[in-house]
């Protein structure tokens, strides 16, 4: 990987403050006894996201962002922005079609490499990583959710294990570390409890990532019912987390990312254990 610190610096340079947009949700903050681990989604939960998710979850691939990202990396444009964006989307479609998973994930570095190869453009590995960062920051601006760092420090200080289950790419942990000014480990996250979709080629709302998390927690003697999963999406977060046996909290603190999924039959009858509109409210729930 390219120098993580340099990529993190670039993420910071391309980012500007984003405030969450209020929702009409009412907090529901029951005391949940026996919670020994708290596991988080990232986009739309720990990070404010302009799209409400990682950019791959949206249909858009703005041509101007592709042009600007390639220019920033120093790669000569092999085609128009529209053609490059179309090749990018086609590589994602082809990767999904080739997967045996019902909920496949891609590796964004491979997507960019294969898309540019159509014009015999072959940037090095470091250039590909820089390109992916430049593009993502342009199409999906992000910023830490209010009180993100304070909450994580407080939870870790309480002796609870911290984990992540997230649709993500290699730049996701780099972004969190860049904004926090410290490593994920220093924030209290156990690397073995951080399950990133791109590493497994599996995405939400499939239960695979949650089952991996449950197994990692079990290795530490923690049952799924002793873990609270926090996410902003009833389908991608609450539903599969409950399938894996986790307690759940719906993060309803940003109108951009709140996904109630009321028309999806899979979430019919699914009720989170708690609803929070600010991250710090989680401290009331876990005690």
Residue-range domains of the chain with CATH? 4-55+142-286 (3.40.50.1000), 59-139 (1.10.150)
What's residue 126's pLDDT?
96
If one counts every other C-beta atom within 10 angstroms of the C-beta of residue 247, the result is: 24
What's residue 287's pLDDT?
85
DSSP string of 98-126?
H-S-SSB---HHHHHHHHHHTTT----HH
What percent of the chain shows pLDDT beyond 70? 97
| C-alpha angle 97-242-233 in degrees, rounded to nearest 5 | 60
Phi-psi group of 74: left, alpha or beta (phi > 0 → left; psi -120 to 50 → alpha; rest → beta): left
If one counts every other C-beta atom within 10 angstroms of the C-beta of residue 168, the result is: 26
What percent of the chain shows pLDDT beyond 90? 93
Cα 5 to Cα 157: distance, rounded to the nearest angstrom:
26
Confidence band (pLDDT; 50, 70, 90) for 260? very high
H helix runs in 27-80, sequence order: 63-73
Answer whether residue 3 shows pLDDT above 90: no
pLDDT tens, position by position, 68-118: 999 999 999 999 999 999 999 999 999 999 999 999 999 999 999 999 999
Mean pLDDT for the stretch of residues 29-34: 98
Mean pLDDT for the stretch of residues 15-43: 98
Answer whether residue 52 shows pLDDT above 90: no
Cα 224 to Cα 242: distance, rounded to the nearest angstrom:
9
Answer whether residue 5 shows pLDDT above 60: yes
What's residue 55's pLDDT?
67
What's residue 62's pLDDT?
82
3 state SS of 178? helix
Cα 199 to Cα 212: distance, rounded to the nearest angstrom:
12
- Yes or no: say if 184 and 149 are a contact pair by the CB < 8 Å rule: no
Confidence band (pLDDT; 50, 70, 90) for 148? very high
Its sign, for the CA torsion 234, 237, 242, 244, is: positive
- Yes or no: say if 197 and 43 are a contact pair by the CB < 8 Å rule: no
Answer whether residue 60 shows pLDDT above 80: no
| 54-58, 84-88, 218-222, 247-251: the lowest-pLDDT one | 54-58
Give the CA radius of gyration of the chain. 19
Tokens (6 digits) for 147:
């009180």
What's residue 57's pLDDT?
56
Answer whether residue 153 shows pLDDT above 80: yes
Residue position matching structure tokens 């992000």: 142
Residue position matching structure tokens 């898309």: 115
What's residue 35's pLDDT?
99
Mean pLDDT for the stretch of residues 115-137: 97
Mean pLDDT for the stretch of residues 52-72: 79
Answer whether residue 61 shows pLDDT above 70: no
């Amino acid at each position: 990987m390219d120098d993580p610190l340099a990529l993190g610096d670039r993420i910071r340079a391309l980012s500007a403050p984003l405030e969450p947009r209020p929702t009409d949700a009412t907090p529901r903050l029951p005391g949940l006894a026996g919670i020994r681990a708290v596991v988080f989604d990232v986009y739309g939960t720990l990070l404010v996201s302009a799209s409400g998710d990682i950019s791959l979850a949206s249909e858009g691939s703005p041509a101007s962002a592709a042009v600007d990202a390639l220019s920033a990396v120093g790669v000569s444009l092999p085609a128009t922005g529209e053609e490059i964006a179309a090749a990018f989307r086609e590589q994602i479609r082809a990767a999904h079609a080739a997967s045996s998973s019902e909920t496949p994930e891609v590796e964004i570095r491979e997507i960019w490499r294969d898309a540019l190869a159509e014009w015999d453009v072959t940037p090095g590995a470091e250039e590909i990583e820089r390109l992916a960062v430049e593009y993502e920051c342009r199409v999906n601006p992000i910023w830490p959710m209010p009180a993100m760092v304070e909450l994580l420090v407080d939870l870790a200080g309480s002796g609870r294990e911290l984990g992540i289950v997230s649709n993500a790419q290699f730049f996701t942990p780099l972004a969190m570390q860049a904004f926090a000014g410290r490593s994920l480990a220093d924030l209290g996250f156990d690397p073995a409890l951080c399950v990133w979709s791109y590493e497994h080629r599996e995405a939400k709302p499939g239960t695979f990532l949650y089952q991996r998390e449950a197994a990692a927690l079990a290795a530490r003697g923690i049952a799924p019912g002793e873990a609270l999963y926090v996410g902003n999406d009833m389908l991608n977060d609450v539903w599969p987390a409950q399938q894996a046996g986790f307690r759940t909290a719906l993060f309803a603190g940003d109108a951009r990312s709140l996904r109630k999924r009321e028309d999806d039959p899979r979430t019919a009858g699914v009720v989170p254990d708690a609803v929070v509109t600010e991250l710090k409210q989680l401290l009331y729930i876990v005690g």
